[in-house]
Amino acid sequence: MREQDPEAARLLLAHSVALGHERLGVRRYLVARHLGVPDVEAFRPFYITAARQFSPHALQSAADTVARELHLVTDAHGEASKPLVAESPFFLPYGGLWPKLESGPQYCGIRVSLLGALKIGSNPWFGPSAVIRADGHFVRIGADFRIGECSTVHIAHELFPTVIGNRVTVGRNAVVHGCTVGDDCVIEDGVVVLDGAQVEDGVLIESNSVVFPRSTLKAGLIYSGSPARPIGEIGNAELQQRRQAVSNAIFACIFDNASKAGEARLGEHAFVAATASLSGTVQAGAKSGIFFGCRLNAVNGEIVIGENSNIQDNTIIDGMEGSVAIGSDSTIGHNVCMGACRIGDRALVGIGSNLAKDTRIDDDVLLAAGSITMAGQHLQGGWLWGGRPARAITKLDDAKRAMMSATIEQYRVYGAQYKIAQSQRASEEV
């Protein structure tokens, strides 16, 4: 290695492969890549098999060691991940506008969806099933953006765009919705940032926090809880450590290639996104929609979705412990997790909520974002519910009912437009 001889590097790599030495072979493959060995890609299958036996931390450490010993100034983390996947995002236009990336992603997992009037700076990372939708407004994201598995970026239709600065890292199963996020922010796993929020530079939002609508999070602080409140200051060193921890988790998802096939029994004009994953048989009523990155498991229990209802991006519906029934004209927001539940008509389950087994939600219920129900809990109709655990807060007024109805109509439009776009893309690929 000290001589940086490509031919010697190739011979050593070939020797490790012949003997089946996985740990040494991974290290020598990375050396060969860095030294530009002409036929290094011939050894890629070995590297992929061997590297998947490593923990993410061990693989990154091996890459760091190689870069240091070769005196290279490079992103060793990215170099180790590049050979492992060759996925491309799923692109769709909305309203005639296509997503635009300043450069190709440094890392892209499976089933990533980039949609509509979206612009992203250089060197993004996309974890598996990440969804960025710019359909009712625009999304602008700076350079070095990283987003984890099953996280969602969306807008507030015709109200708020989403604007994200440089070097922002978003963890797994998080939602950034119709808000502004400054530079150098870290948004950890399970966080929900809601419409009109302003997150200033250098903010850390801790796992499972909810940033309420139109909140302002001041620069250089740590926020936690629901609603998210400041709990202390954070310096650059700690912020970088937290960013690295979230990045490592994104990197770990590189090994997740599972995808199950299922069947959807669709009513007239129903929509199922190309990156949604269905297992078993799912019945979806007329003009209903199952959006990008959703995972519906109906192997052991049926999932029935009523007419005009929408299941928004990255929601998980798991019928392993019983059937799931969702009524007509109901909304299940982004990144909701629910099992064997019953949802009535004209209900709205807010972004990032978690519904425990046997939850029953009556007709005309609004469940606030980030709420959690208890097993067997019954949410009575005509009320706004919210909290952890959920409790009745106030009677639904005309304004809330109108918002719930407008969401149904807007998602019918979204579904119809995306169905056309998907069909056109499919016909062009034939």
pLDDT at 425 over 90: no
> How big is the chain by its Cα radius of gyration, in Å?
23
Confidence of residue 63 (pLDDT cuts 50, 70, 90): confident
> Does the pLDDT at position 31 exceed 80?
yes
Give the pLDDT confidence score for residue 206 in this predicted structure. Answer: 98
Beta-bridged to residue 152, according to DSSP, are 131, 175
User: Among 164-168, 245-249, 284-288, which stretch is predicted with the lowest mean pLDDT?
Assistant: 245-249
Mean pLDDT of all residues in the chain? 90
3-state DSSP helix/strand/coil % of the chain, to nearest 5: 25, 30, 45
pLDDT band at 13 (very low <50, low <70, confident <90, very high): confident
Of the chain, the end-to-end C-alpha distance in Å amounts to 48
pLDDT of the residue at 57: 63
pLDDT over 90 percentage in the chain? 68
Confidence at residue 17, expressed as pLDDT on a 0 to 100 scale: 87
**pLDDT recorded at residue 32:** 85
> What is the model's pLDDT at position 267?
77
Going by pLDDT thresholds of 50, 70 and 90, the confidence category of residue 74 is low
pLDDT at 401: 97
d(C-alpha 126, C-alpha 128), whole Å: 7
For 249-258, 354-363, 380-389, 398-407, which range has the lowest pLDDT when averaged over its residues?
A: 249-258
Side-chain-side CA neighbours of 265 within 13 Å: the count stands at 10
Query: In degrees rounded to 5, what are phi and psi of residue 421?
Result: -65, -40
Pair 104, 91: CB distance under 8 Å = no
Cβ contacts of 290 within 8 Å, gap of 6 or more: 264, 271, 272, 273, 276, 278, 282, 284, 296, 305, 310, 311
| Span of 67-81, 92-106, 367-381 with lowest mean pLDDT | 67-81
Count helices and strands (H / E) in the chain: 7, 38
Q: Are 62 and 30 in contact (CB under 8 A)?
A: yes
Half-sphere exposure of 278 (CA within 13 A, CB side): 21
- For 237-296, give the secondary structure using H, E and C: HHHHHHHHHHHHHHHHHHHCCCCCCEEEEECCCCEECCCCEEEEEEEECCCCEECCCCEE
Give the tens place of pLDDT for each residue, 181-210: 999 999 999 999 999 999 999 999 999 999
Mean pLDDT, range 46-56, rounded to an integer: 73
- Give residue 177's pLDDT: 98
Which of 48-62, 147-161, 345-359, 405-419 is predicted with the least confidence, judged by mean pLDDT? 48-62
pLDDT at 76: 56
Three-state secondary structure call for residue 70? coil
Q: Which residue has the tokens 């407008």?
A: 406
pLDDT of residue 262: 58
Q: Is the pLDDT of residue 100 over 70?
A: yes
Distance CA 217, CA 318 (A): 35
The amino acid present at 318, given as its one-letter code, is: D
Which residue matches tokens 């790599």?
Answer: 13
How confident is the model at residue 66, as a pLDDT? 78
Give yes or no for residue 10 having a pLDDT over 70: yes
pLDDT of residue 8: 86
Sign, CA torsion 252/256/257/259: negative
Q: How confident is the model at residue 320 (pLDDT cuts 50, 70, 90)?
A: confident
Structure token pair of residue 373: 């129900």
Amino acid identity of residue 399, one-letter, is: A
Mean pLDDT, residues 261-283 taken together: 83
Percent of the chain at pLDDT exceeding 70: 90
CB 216 within 8 A of CB 200: yes
> Of how many residues is the chain composed?
430
What CA–CA distances, in Å, run from 366 to 35, 203, 412? 59, 30, 19
Nearest to 69 by CA among 78, 61, 81: 61
More confident residue, 230 or 259: 230
Q: What is the structure's pLDDT at 261?
A: 55
| 68 pLDDT more than 90 | no
427: buried, middle or exposed (CB in 10 Å: 19+, 13-18, 0-12)?
exposed
**Residue type at 366?**
L
Q: Are 112 and 275 in contact (CB under 8 A)?
A: yes
Domains and CATH numbers, the chain: 6-84 (no CATH), 90-255 (2.160.10.10), 262-421 (2.160.10.10)
pLDDT at 253 over 80: no
Nearest in space to 81 (alpha carbons), one of 60, 57, 50: 60
Q: How confident is the model at residue 300 (pLDDT cuts 50, 70, 90)?
A: confident
